[in-house]
Amino acid sequence: MVSSAHATVLLSPTTTTPVVGLEDQYNFGIDATIPGGTFNSQAFSDNSGGPGQTFTTPATGNFTLGAFSFKGAATGSSNVGGFAAGTTWGIRVSSVTGGALAPILTVTGIPSPATLAGDEWLTWTFSGADLLTLQPSKLYAVDVFSSAGYYGFDAAVDPNSYAGGVAFNSTSAARSFNNTSIQDRGYDRTFAADLTVVPEPAAATLLVAGLGLLGMRRRR
């Protein structure tokens, strides 16, 4: 497992829904009432066991996880507060086996945006040593927390909104990743996992060879 303090993970807010491709995993449903009901103890970045979502990679090829996004609840300002200078975020990426997390990347100390409206898409973008290669047809999980304040993430109540995973909270203490047990919530968070196919070695070799030939032709 890789563990680091902010390293090369960038957190950015946007009001634009992520553009998704064929390999990406996502759920854009937003019909949960947040704040409200049971979601108050399951959707917020200061909950015991921060909010998370599992997802399944496609069946063919390995994939690079370039970014992961959660959407803030549509209630906006009523579901965000308490953020101050120096607030940071943590994100954990895990594989999932038998209802338990096996962390493969844990990053803390990611600077929070200075101002949050509460209904944005929050996107964690990975680069450098924090870029992960995920295996095909495998269940993975992402969960997050904030070091201060609270931020509520949206969800779709229908458990079939995204067939390849489920919303969860771990049994960790608030604002920590100190436990790996999953509490299945029976619905899906509003999320997007940005996946890019890793080229097969043969394809990469052909690409390099082709670029080499192109360079030779240009020199002539």
pTM: 0.89
pLDDT band at 74 (very low <50, low <70, confident <90, very high): confident
Task: Determine the 3-state secondary structure of 170 from DSSP.
Answer: strand
pLDDT band at 151 (very low <50, low <70, confident <90, very high): very high
pLDDT at 110 over 50: yes
pLDDT at 71 over 50: yes
| Better-predicted residue by pLDDT, 213 or 15 | 15
Summarised one tens digit per residue, pLDDT across range 130-139 is: 999 999 999 9
> What is d(CA 132, CA 140) in angstroms, rounded to the nearest whole number?
12
CA 72 to chain centre: 13
Which residues span the domain enclosing 58? 2-219
Looking at the chain, the whole-number percentage of residues with pLDDT higher than 70 is 88
Task: Give the pLDDT of residue 212.
Answer: 56
Mean pLDDT of 203-217: 50
pLDDT band at 33 (very low <50, low <70, confident <90, very high): confident
CA 217 to chain centre: 44
| Better-predicted residue by pLDDT, 181 or 209 | 181
pLDDT band at 193 (very low <50, low <70, confident <90, very high): very high
In the numeric block, which tokens belong to residue 15? Answer: 């009001």
Residues 6+ apart with CB under 8 A from 123: 11, 12, 13, 14, 18, 67, 68, 69
CB atoms within 10 A of CB 84: 10
Summarised one tens digit per residue, pLDDT across range 48-70 is: 999 999 999 999 999 999 999 99
Number of domains observed in the structure of the chain: 1
Residue 151: C-alpha distances to residues 77, 90, 118, 142 (Å): 9, 13, 7, 16
